[in-house]
Every structure is written in C-alpha cells, then in structure tokens.
Amino acid sequence: MESELFKESVDTLKKIYSEALLEKTGAKESETREKLWIAYNVVGKVEQHLQSILETGKLAEKQLEVFRKQSQEKKF
C-alpha cells in the first residue's frame, strides 16, 4: 500500500500479536494462543482485501479515463 502510516499500523499489529502469541502465552493457554493466531491472520487478510480494493479502484479509474478520452476524440 502507498500509505506509510497504514503499513506501519499493520506491521505494528502483526508484531503485537506475534509477540503475544510466541512470548507472552504459557503452555496451557491454548485458547488464548488460538485467538491471537486468528487475530494475526485477520490483520493480513484485511491488508490484502484493502490492497485489492485500492488496486481495483485504480484500474477502474484508468479505464474511465481512457473511455473519456475516446469519447472526446469521437466528438471532434
């Protein structure tokens, strides 16, 4: 993604969840580790989904620009 703030936020969340998962849970805390693992993976999925939305929007914007140029060329 282009936004450094967004990337930094995602990286920070992943770091928090991975550290909690690996370093701050005990052997008998399987339910907590499972929830942290899910949270860590959800962050990645959200990042991928937002990236896809941005890329799709950029593609649509470029297609619309080409369409507008072609429409104006046909008028003249």
Angle at alpha carbon of residue 61, lines to 67 and 66, rounded to 5°: 25
**Residue range 9-36: mean pLDDT, rounded:** 94
* pLDDT of residue 66 exceeding 80: yes
Confidence check: pLDDT of 23 > 70: yes
Provide the domain count of the chain: 1
Query: Residue 63's domain spans which residues?
Result: 4-75
- The pTM (predicted TM-score) of the whole model is 0.68
- Give the pLDDT confidence score for residue 76 in this predicted structure: 63
Q: How much is the average pLDDT of 31-44?
A: 95
Q: Is 36 exposed, middle or buried (0-12, 13-18, 19+ CB in 10 A)?
A: buried
Cα dihedral across residues 24, 25, 27, 28: positive or negative: positive
Asked if residue 2 has pLDDT above 80, the reply is no
